[in-house]
Structure 1
Amino acid sequence: MKYSLKDFDVTDEKLFLNRRQFIRAGVAAGLSLSAFPTLAALNFRANPNYQPNLKLTDSEHALNYNNFYELGTDKSDPPRYAHLLKTDNWQVRVEGLCAKPQIFDMDDLLKIEQEERIYRFRCVEGWSMVVPWIGFPLSKLLNKVQPDSSAKYVEFISILDRENLPGQKFNVLNWPYREGLRMDEAMHPLTIMATGLYGKELENQNGAPIRLVVPWKYGFKSAKSIVTIRLTDKMPTSSWMESAPSEYGFYSNVNPNVPHPRWSQAKERPLGSFFKKKTLIFNGYADDVAGLYKDMDLKKYY
């Protein structure tokens, strides 16, 4: 099934693997990205499987209203201080319980994207967005290192750069930022390593050059600017679990039936909209992921 995108055109399949070529022209006149003229446009194709019929969030909202505590705790801090995130010669170490631990540079990671996809994923944190991530399934990367059968969890560790990143000069969290997934969650095809957004390479404020996207979980579960991925047999303690264990659990699945201790999660407010809407269980992806949690008490394991 071919998907018609309103905000940009899909590049011919023959051109996927040329994605590192910089196309300095705009992707389409409808995108308001003139403030970021140096970013490379990406070649990609639409994913025929996961295409919720949702209206895309305006790019100006997604690029200028961000959670990225390494760059500051205010929603306007990440775009303001994005230039302080240094992404040159980026590497991601994949280690732990695997047969072939490796260090991947960005060119290595982009080669894994043999079938690039665009997803309309929703991130919900009281406010919500529908944004077109470009990336590849995390499973493709993990398969490269051949996980051991004893590996039950995957831990993600983000950049630590106290010298340059203003948010890390304050101990609002125990840096570096850490997140975790169960192995079956990590291997699910909806779980991706994102390298692009709105048809271009990731902006720094959105977690460049590579970040995790898990669309059925709350947005804070998606670690940004990842430098280490570790396979382990023990459940990782995420940064938010460590910081506020009474409020944030390991799973962090979108569940409108489990209120946050300080607010209801039954409704969400899409960015750019005045009105709230009903929050969907698993963020609308129940048909795809509910089986991962069969027989689990979703109020206990929040």
Structure 2
Amino acid sequence: MYTDLNRPPLVAGALRRALVRGTAGGDPDAFYSSLDVVAETGSTNADMLARAVDSALDRAVLISEFQDHGRGRHARSWVAPPRSAVSVSVLLRMPGIDPADLGWLPLLAGVAVVDALRSVAEVDAVLKWPNDVLIGGSKVAGILAEVAATAPIPSVVLGIGLNVSLTESELPVPTATSLALAGAATTDRDTVVRALLRALASEWTKWNRNGWDTTALAESYRERCATIGQRVRAELPGGGELLGTASGIDAQGRIVISPDDGREPVAVSAGDITHLRPQQ
């Protein structure tokens, strides 16, 4: 039973009818094969990675109302009060893809999240490379993709954490925000989950039908990426930093930075990116 009437639980049955094929009264052509909602877990990604040993499981969705060991990139923790966020992981098998292209999946997820939020929440969501979702310069969602297998079929668990109704005092860091704080048109999590998972299914299906060619996906990503054109600081793995202007995203999904000191542009595949104020 829940006591916070402003944060009702997700309705698993309704979500299954909307998103899972074969559900009585639902869409027979829906993308997903299963959808489970649990009250609490450590990490939906960890749970789904454990489930991925079942080779018959594919397009499976796990949502938790609360995570006490949620993880982001670089093993950072991500925790939100119960029923204040969307914490969802999806297992996706990707037959025929070059394992080298699996790194595009979290970027694709970023495109899907941005489009879903622009559509139903009516907020000006954008991407910060590689896959943080921002509203007004503050982070509202993060994405973590973890490879479950590379053979015989490349398989990835894709986790998305989205702040929905968090108040300012509940934000994990001052640079975060929530849909509620951003003045979203809706903070109904059922609506947001449906839009998010449908957008993810649509983008994945287009990529699959294109034979995993990244050309169209890369263009969609660039159109939504606010990092391009920004002066940035890249904190590089192993130490060191690079200051310059982000000039584009290359065919491998790397951020291309033109250094302030006039050197040739550098493609960065990993590292923390900070948007800086323009030089005066």
Shorter-normalised TM-score: what interval?
A: 0.3 to 0.5
Higher relative contact order, chain-length normalized (CA < 8 Å, sep 6+)? 1
TM-score, length basis structure 1: 0.31
TM-score (norm 2): 0.32
Higher strand share: 2
